[in-house]
Structure 1
Amino acid sequence: MESVVTQPAFAADKVSLFKVITAKDEIVIGISEGDLAQMEGNAGGIAKALVAKGSMSVWRYAVHKSASGDLEQAPLHKIGLIASDSLRVEPYATPLKVLPIDESKR
């Protein structure tokens, strides 16, 4: 039996991707290296921070096509997460290029 360990995908400026799963749906979020360091640097730390704060703002990521036609993970827009008992946060691995967060698009 093989064991597969997934690591979050990283962009050039160290954006980590995570999948947030609720009873209704799942989304992919990106968190910058600096913000992630304040949350223990892992999915468990994100979950703890969310429960402690009750809510938090993060960047939602989605697959889009670049100008050259390649698929890549790109920040879509900033969203708010609300703590919930049915919430799970886990690392999200992708073979695609992960674009950095552009804070000017808030």
Structure 2
Amino acid sequence: MRISKRQLLGLGLASFLMESLVIQPALAADKVSLFKVITSKDEIVIGIGETELAQMEGQNAGGVAKALVAKGSMSVWQYAVRKSTSGDLEQSPLHKIGLIASDSLRVEPYATPLKVLPIDETKK
């Protein structure tokens, strides 16, 4: 069986197109930074996408705290640990919540060894 150069080129191009269609959505997802918000009653973990975080001064916990104080309140995604279909633990967006500046005492970065899932904007 002999494959011509044209067939080989066509097969390579088709493979490239299929790969780029599969990889493109994964690369388009915003990277999420996690923060722990501590109040007088409890503490929660929130996730902020890199595009939203880039609009905040400092792009860190201090920037999130300043944005919260300046706005008075903000809508963010609460994150929680869950099991993936493969059984691995991962940090996943739970639901969108509202933070009020007067109830939040401290915002600090939250490090996790778990995989952090991106925010699905279709769930808003």
* TM class, shorter-length: 0.7 to 0.9
3-state SS in 2 of match to 1:34: helix
Tell me the equivalent position of 1:105.
Answer: 123
3-state SS in 2 of match to 1:51: helix
After superposition, residues 27-38 of structure 1 pair within 5 angstroms as 27-38=44-55
Q: TM-score, normalised by structure 1?
A: 0.86
Shift of 1:68: 0.4
Distance 1:91 1:48 in 2: 14
Distance 1:60 1:39 in 2: 18
Of 3, 18, 22, which residue of structure 1 is paired with 2:39? 22
Q: How many residues align?
A: 95
Where in structure 2 are there 5+ consecutive unaligned residues?
1-28
Larger radius of gyration: 2
Percent identical among aligned pairs is: 87
Runs of 4+, deviation exceeding 4 Å: none
Where in structure 1 are there 5+ consecutive unaligned residues?
1-11
Q: TM-score, normalised by structure 2?
A: 0.73
Bigger mean CA offset, 92-101 vs 76-85:
76-85
If asked which structure has higher relative contact order (CA below 8 Å, sep 6+), I would say 1
